[in-house]
Structure 1
Amino acid sequence: MRQTVRAWGNALGRVRLLVRGKLPPFAVDAALTAALLFATAGLSHRDLVHSTSLVVFQWLLLVPLVWRRRAPLTVFGVLAAVAFLQWLTGAALPADVALLIAMYTVAAHSTRRRTLLAFAVLELGTLLAASTWATHGRTTQSFVALSAIVVATTVIGVNMRTRRAYLAALEDRAGRLERERDQRAQLAVAGERARIAREMHDIVTHNLSVMVALADGAVFAQERHPEKAVAAMRQVSGTGRQAITDMRRFLGVLRADEPDALRHPMPGIAQLEPLAEQVRAAGLPTRLSVGGDPDVANAAAQLTVYRLVQEALTNTLKHAPAGTRADVRVRCSPASVHVDITDDGPVTAAPAAPAGHGMAGMRERAAAYGGQLEAGPLPDGGWRVSAVLALVPRQDGAAPDGEGAVRAGDGAL
């Protein structure tokens, strides 16, 4: 029996969803009104044949239901007034069920205050009907029975309104979560693009700058010192191969089908000496000093240090005149890594606008570790780039020693 009732309930639910999805509410209410007119006319056929006033009351009670969802309280007020006139005439019709439908509509679509007002009016009508049409002194029993029907109708309407509001809140929350998910995905994609752009900029710009400097030196030395020209071109070849290796290493990490990606770890502090040798070969005398234990910094922090030094030396190689010397100092501690790159070139004014993305990339790299970045000319000549990377954040979430504010010179190195 329970399975049969459940099956009928599921079938009615599917029909209701199908009708609600295919037909507008006004058409559904019109169909409901027509069905009630037909049903109530059949129940009171004899009375309607002999009384025109009853026909009028039946139509006045049922036809307003067509607009019940557009103006719930107004329709209920009209039906209550018609029902009161009907009570004055002493007539009783099955069409009075329209009051219950109107009460349900008010409870399902109107505010709580309007629902209480409609409930009070309908309870008064219930009292009048029970006192007039109850037989054999059963006024109290009739009033209780009718009131129970009114209360049940109101509770069903209120529950439907609560359910509708709950579903609307769930839909709104799901929409907001979907939008936030899309925004997070867009931010992640933008961040990944920026990271790839920084890495590719550092790899390509540095190696091309070294190759250009070596090629210029080879052209200059090919007549007087051909052996130096040959050595320079070999350095160009080696630098090109190194650039290809770096790009394959970086792109291999991004590709899941690259089997050798893990065999080529990203560069770190240990690779600063080969970097300095490469820059020296390009014509920039460079002194490197590393203090402390580099292993206290993880691979990502060491890559940041390497890229900062690489970008600073590349800028010096491109912009500083011949004879300039560079000095790189790296100090590692359990809490932070200090990086300082200076050169002794002449005092130059910073350009009015950034010439590339190098400085922006250095800022972003330092900021990723709550870092403090300073870049600018020295008072006695030359240029200085200094960065502090925080390895251990403070317990209050702030960067230690005021780190996190990223400062830089007005122009790109």
Structure 2
Amino acid sequence: MVRVHELLRSVWDEPRPANAPPPAWRDWAFVGVLAVVAVLEGVLRTDLRSPVVSTVVAVGLLPTLLWRRTRPLPTIAVAFGVCAVVPVLTGSEPELNVMAFMLILPFSLYRWGSGREAVLGSVIMLAKLGFSLALGTVTLTGGLGGVFLISTACALGAALRYRVRARMRELDQAKLLERERLARDLHDTVAHHVSAMAIRAQAGLATSDAEPGAAVDALRVIESEASRALAEMRTMVRVLRQNEAADLSPNPRVADLERLAGRAQFGPPVDVEIVGDVEDLPPSVGTAIYRLAQESVTNARRHARHATRIEVRVVADDRAVHLRVSDDGEPFTRPAGAQGHGLIGMIERAGLLGGTCEAGPNPDRGWTVTATLPRTAG
């Protein structure tokens, strides 16, 4: 009983879909065509008991189609209210076949109306059918047929409504995933170079008094890292603007890890060791391994105080690729409850490929990042 009450309550509280389209030229053209058809049917048919009334009612109710999306409940009330009054005045229902256009109204009610509008509109439509049955202008068979047609129109409207909603949820999820991907790519590429520039600038300032040439060396490193960061930013912007079906950033491979070892101009030296066959790895796996190692090395250079070495080891076997990055410095103590965006991005990047990524302090000294990715990840 509680569940039924909650279900009814959720239906009643259902909001209207956003951005209901106003009347367009197609709606006006459709109404115009139906008006011509209604007049021709009223003139040419000889079996109508009240041709003038039927024609006037049909043409008079056609404008409700223009506001069926923005005002679904008032159009239902007007259309079915008029059709309920006509039998009282003429003794018969409107007889034109063109009146089938009224099935569009319950469809629009369930497609564009709120939950309470749908409930109230359904009550109005059922009340009209019951009133016609009581007057005897509609037979029981005709009433059941009307219920079937109206229910079918309502079901189609509800089905389209929730199909569009499901589609919008899929689009929102895709946008969220793309935002997360952009965040990872920005952090793993541009932030890496910015961190390098900041570290080298600090080192240059600290040693500038004792070594006047240190500032010049720092500027060279900063200029080099800034050029790389600018190039990668341009790559991302070009892909986004041109809507290219390509990765948002360059695609380094595992073999490119040697670049990290070669950048010993600042921070502790980096030793890179690659064991196993890494040439036939899928591009997504190779890029992920490189980015995970790059972020780990960047974090070690930034946070591992008094570190003398950073070791990067990649071991590839028939089933997976294993990455281990460790240093021997004093680990940076992050405030309780805080978690860097880099670690979050690393865990997400590994998880998207069906792998794992963990990071934590060593038992004695230093910090270690381990990651495992399956070779078959796409």
What TM-score, normalized by structure 1, do the two folds share? 0.61
Residue 157 of structure 1, CA deviation: 3.5
- CA offsets 1:186-227 (integer angstroms, 9 cap, x no match): 111111111111211222332122112212222333344344
CA–CA separation in structure 2 for the residues paired with 1:200 and 1:68:
57
SS of equivalent to 1:281:
coil
Residue in 2 that maps onto 1:269: 254
- CA offsets 1:244-293 (integer angstroms, 9 cap, x no match): 112222332223178xx89x842232321112322x21122110011222
Pairwise mapping of residues 13-162 of structure 1 onto structure 2 (< 5 A)?
16=58, 19=61, 21=64, 23-36=78-91, 70=127, 76=133, 99=136, 101-103=137-139, 107=140, 154=141, 156-162=142-148
SS of equivalent to 1:266:
coil
CA–CA separation in structure 2 for the residues paired with 1:199 and 1:364:
12
Residue 347 of structure 1, CA deviation: 6.0
Residue in 2 that maps onto 1:236: 222
8 Å CA contact retained: 1:312, 1:341:
yes
CA–CA separation in structure 1 for the residues paired with 2:282 and 2:194:
28
CA–CA separation in structure 2 for the residues paired with 1:238 and 1:342:
26
Change (3 A) 1:334 1:157: farther
8 Å CA contact retained: 2:251, 2:287:
yes
Comparing both chains, which one has the higher relative contact order based on Cα–Cα distances under 8 Å and sequence gaps of 6 or more? Answer: 2
8 Å CA contact retained: 2:355, 2:373:
yes
Pairing partner for 1:368 from 352, 357, 364? 352
Residue 374 of structure 1, CA deviation: 1.5
Q: How many correspondences in the alignment?
A: 287
Change (3 A) 1:358 1:17: farther
8 Å CA contact retained: 2:232, 2:250:
no
Q: Give the percent of matched residue pairs that are identical in Structure 1 and Structure 2.
A: 31
What TM-score, normalized by structure 2, do the two folds share? 0.66
Greater shift after overlay, 181-190 or 248-257?
248-257
8 Å CA contact retained: 1:68, 1:75:
no
CA–CA separation in structure 2 for the residues paired with 1:284 and 1:213:
11
Root mean square deviation, CA, Å: 3.5
Change (3 A) 1:352 1:13: farther
SS of equivalent to 2:242:
coil
Change (3 A) 1:271 1:209: same
8 Å CA contact retained: 2:274, 2:314:
yes
CA–CA separation in structure 2 for the residues paired with 1:162 and 1:257:
47
Residue in 2 that maps onto 1:295: 279
SS of equivalent to 1:284:
coil
Residue in 2 that maps onto 1:325: 309
8 Å CA contact retained: 2:305, 2:331:
no
CA–CA separation in structure 2 for the residues paired with 1:330 and 1:354:
29
Higher relative helix content? 1
8 Å CA contact retained: 2:275, 2:315:
yes
Residue 319 of structure 1, CA deviation: 1.0
Letter in structure 2 aligned against 1:269: V
SS of equivalent to 1:385:
strand
Letter in structure 2 aligned against 1:213: I
Residue in 1 that maps onto 2:3: none
Residue 185 of structure 1, CA deviation: 0.9
SS of equivalent to 1:361:
helix
Residue 349 of structure 1, CA deviation: 5.2
Pairing partner for 1:357 from 322, 341, 355? 341
CA–CA separation in structure 2 for the residues paired with 1:161 and 1:382:
75
Letter in structure 2 aligned against 1:324: T
Pairing partner for 1:345 from 329, 335, 338? 329
Larger Rg: 1
8 Å CA contact retained: 1:320, 1:345:
yes
Pairwise mapping of residues 391-402 of structure 1 onto structure 2 (< 5 A)?
391-392=375-376
8 Å CA contact retained: 2:282, 2:376:
no
